[in-house]
Amino acid sequence: MREKLNEILKQYSKERNSPLYKTIEEFAQTVPGNGDSITQIDYKGVFSESKTIGLLIDPATGNILDANDGALNYYGYSAREMLSMKISEINILTEDEIAAEIHKAKTQKRNYFLFRHRLKNGEIRNVEVYSHPVNTKTGIILHSVIFDIEEKVKARYEANRFHTAVEQSPTSVVITDLDGTIEYVNPKFTELTGYTVEEAIGENPRILKSEKTSPEVYKEMWETISNGKVWVGEFINKHKNGTHFWERATLAPLYQDSLHVGYIAVKENITDRKIEEFKVAELNHELEVNLEELNSAYEELNVINEKLNESNEILKTEREQFLSLLNSITEPIYVADKYTYEILFANQAVNEVVGHNISGEKCFRALQNNDEPCSFCKHDEIFTKNKSCYWEHFNESLKKDFYIIDRPIRWVDGREAHFQLAIDVSKLKEVEKELRQAKQDLTNRSKELEELNATKDKFFSIISHDLKNPFNAIMGFSNFLYTKIDKYDKETIKQYAGNIYKSSRNSYKLLQNLLEWAGSQMNHTKFDPVPFKLYQLVDECITGLYSQISEKNIHADVQVPAELDAYGDKNMINTILRNLISNAIKFSHKGGKIVIDAMQKNKCIVISVKDFGVGMPNETQKKLFKISEKVTTPGTNQEKGTGLGLLLSKEFATKHGGKIKVQSQEGEGSEFFVYLPLP
């Protein structure tokens, strides 16, 4: 037996400081080796003095032969109750499954087990069990050492959930140590870079470095993140196959228990967006060239107009040259009479766009398929002001976008005319629309990441601080009672028990809100609205909070009409009421008063919860319902809180299509209003 335990100790040699290692080591020293024997009295003495949860089990019947103080405290049974029970009354496996596991422990085929045990109060907890056969003078018994791992199981679940989110992220995620050595990459990284996870782990992100990113960018990045700040910028990186791609990266220091342990980078492939930006730049350049050409053409037109007056022969020659020039321009151009709107000239480009020669037709008919001059036309404006007009227009007939230049001219035959040049910018508009959509998508994604990060921070803050503190209090006071109960009088024991109860109650309230909030964040909370009597639900909440009310001698004045009907999800509204009433009690003075009222206003039920306690300043009121803000004000009896209850209340009110508001004055109290629409 001792040799088997020593083998187990070797497996846990890296955890010498853990309670599990010390317990097994302590037990191993008392167990006989091969050829030795042990008396039942000696063994039971070692068993009873053990600080861990211990059970002695008859492997033949499954009866519990003995339970130490740790087991009695953990399961909640008295010694008399435990010794009358079978292990099947604690282990939730079937009797056949339990018999099979007992056989494995008895024959030493296995000594470590993961079970789920039921406590006296009905709660089921995850446990680790180390079970070994012991030869006594009366036969073989099983000695089982039990460790509660409920919180470890929950923590592992949350870690796996966060890891899954990172693994499925549409952006590339890289984690390095302080020297820049890659420790983790997600699947998006391998898709983007061409490197497998095995190829990337252990390498430096410099494997992606190209010569196309300025050294100053890398210098600025390292200076920023080395100083504990977040850096955001762009890289031109190199794929494994040698091709280049653009990335927009957010790099930040990574901390564990306030210790700087490495860096994390979240990167998005923006190559397509960059290509579109380059295309837009090229189109803008082409537009500038065209405008320069047009300005040059206008100058030539003025020269030609002046020379037309010299002689008819020269006029004829210049006219041919001018019309030839207009026809050579690749953008649509037409000239219309100022008064009749008749098209005097249409170049080849505009005729090709329309599909036929439009000379001699009315411009509004030929180009817009209208029966009268267009309301948006700049015809009157250019002649009134005698200057050019630049504008954009979508041609419904042609289904194209144009950048239009209008100007008044005197045509070759001497008539006043309207000159129009239309540059087709449909492709440019499409690119602009795509860029705007891409920008909006980036903005939306950024907001989602900010909300996800705020949710994560809030969750980890509660887990690491707010949830741990009450358990520390419970463990501390219960340890005092466990180790020194014989030294305390009844009043002192009652005081310690009361402290344990308060810490347990606070932990339960926090866990209840935390589970409801987590379910809401993952859309696991079922929304099932039904009609109900509001007074009955308020009465249930007051009854559930009776211990808090009596502890501070609070007078709860329920003014909700008994006949008032409400409509909504009773569980969600119960959560809202529980949190608001609990807060009212928390911030009320001993002997104070709270008022719960409700009324129907139009098609809405308005619930109010009012206290006459400490109140709050305006700045605190503005932060109450924001997840990114931490608002934790102690109660009048120094009751702790996380602000999670109000966040959950707002979210549940919103699910009903309603809202929640607050009115408060420092020193005078606070009043919360919940608006629930009726169907």
- Would you call 611 helix, strand, or coil by DSSP? strand
Measured CA to CA, the distance from residue 551 to residue 486 in angstroms comes to 28
Low-confidence ranges of the chain (pLDDT < 70): 1-46, 48, 159, 308-320, 322, 448-477, 479-480, 482, 484, 495-496, 498-499, 501-525, 627-631, 641-643
One-letter amino acid of 357: N
CA-nearest of 605, 602, 609, 610 to 656 is 605
The answer to whether the CB of 398 falls within 8 A of the CB of 404 is no
pTM for this model (two decimals): 0.34
Secondary structure (3-state) at 498: helix
Contact call for residues 90 and 148 (beta carbons, < 8 A)? no
> Which pLDDT score is estimated for 609?
96
498 neighbors 480 (Cβ within 8 angstroms)? no
Which is the CATH superfamily of the domain at 289-424?
PAS domain (3.30.450.20)
What single DSSP character describes residue 86?
B
Q: For the stretch 563-600, what's the b/e string if a residue is b when 16 or more beta carbons lie within 10 angstroms of its beta carbon?
A: eeebbbbbebbbbbbbbbbbbbbbbbbeebbbbbbbee
Q: Which pLDDT belongs to residue 375?
A: 81
pLDDT tens track for 137-183: 888 999 999 999 998 888 788 867 877 777 888 899 999 999 999 99
In the chain, the amino acid numbered 447 is K
User: In angstroms, what CA-CA distances link 670 with 212, 585, 596, 620?
Assistant: 60, 11, 12, 12
CATH class for the region spanning 526-677: alpha beta
User: 609: which 2 tokens?
Assistant: 């919860």
Please tell me the distance from the alpha carbon of residue 575 to that of residue 541, in angstroms, as a whole number: 9
Kindly report, residue by residue over 124-134, the tens digit of the pLDDT. 999 999 999 99
Two structure tokens written together for 430:
């499409």
- CATH number for the domain running over 2-148: 3.30.450.20
**Cβ contact 264:252 at 8 Å:** yes
Q: Residue 561 is encoded by which pair of tokens?
A: 């009409």
Q: Which two tokens stand for residue 633?
A: 């004000």
Element (H, E) at 451: helix 426-461
Question: Any residues with CB less than 8 A from the CB of 242 and at least 6 apart, and which?
Answer: none
Tell how strand 530-533 and strand 565-568 pair up. Answer: antiparallel
Q: Measured in whole angstroms, how far is the alpha carbon of residue 395 from the centre of its chain?
A: 45
Residues of the chain with CATH 3.30.565.10: 526-677
The answer to whether the beta carbons of residues 280 and 432 sit under 8 Å apart is yes
Q: β-strands 555-558, 659-665: how paired?
A: unpaired
- Angstrom distances, CA of residue 232 to CA of 177, 249, 266, 313, 471: 19, 6, 10, 69, 40
In this structure, are residues 544 and 502 in contact, taking their beta carbons and an 8 Å threshold? no
What is the rounded distance in angstroms from the CA atom of residue 28 to the CA atom of residue 15?
Answer: 16
pLDDT at 510: 55
Q: Collapsing DSSP states into helix, strand and coil, what is residue 245?
A: strand
Which distant-in-sequence residues (6+ apart) come within 8 Å of 183 by Cβ? Answer: 175, 176, 177, 201, 262
418 phi and psi angles, rounded to 5 deg: -105, 115
Q: How far apart are CA 459 and CA 627, in angstroms?
A: 10
Could you tell me the strand order of the sheet in which 139-148 lies? 64-67, 53-57, 139-148, 124-136, 112-118
Q: Where are the alpha helices (DSSP H) in 263-347?
A: 271-308, 312-328
Query: Strand, coil or helix: what is 410?
Result: strand
* Token digits of residue 504: 């347990």
What is the pLDDT, as a whole number, of residue 18? 46
pLDDT at 630: 66
Residue with tokens 């009134």: 384
Q: In the numeric block, which tokens belong to residue 502?
A: 């308060």
Task: Considering the chain, tell me which residue range(s) the CATH 3.30.450.20 domain(s) occupy.
Answer: 2-148, 155-269, 289-424
What's the CA gap between 135 and 38, in Å, rounded?
8
Burial of 75 (0-12, 13-18, 19+ CB in 10 A): buried
CA angle 493, 494, 499 (to 5 degrees): 95
Residue 117 pairs with which residues in a beta bridge? 91, 125
Taking phi over 0 as left and psi of -120 to 50 as alpha, with beta for the rest, 658 belongs to beta
Q: How far apart are CA 610 and CA 629, in angstroms?
A: 24
Under CATH, what is the fold of the domain 155-269? Beta-Lactamase (3.30.450)
Distance between CA atoms of residues 572 and 603, nearest Å: 20
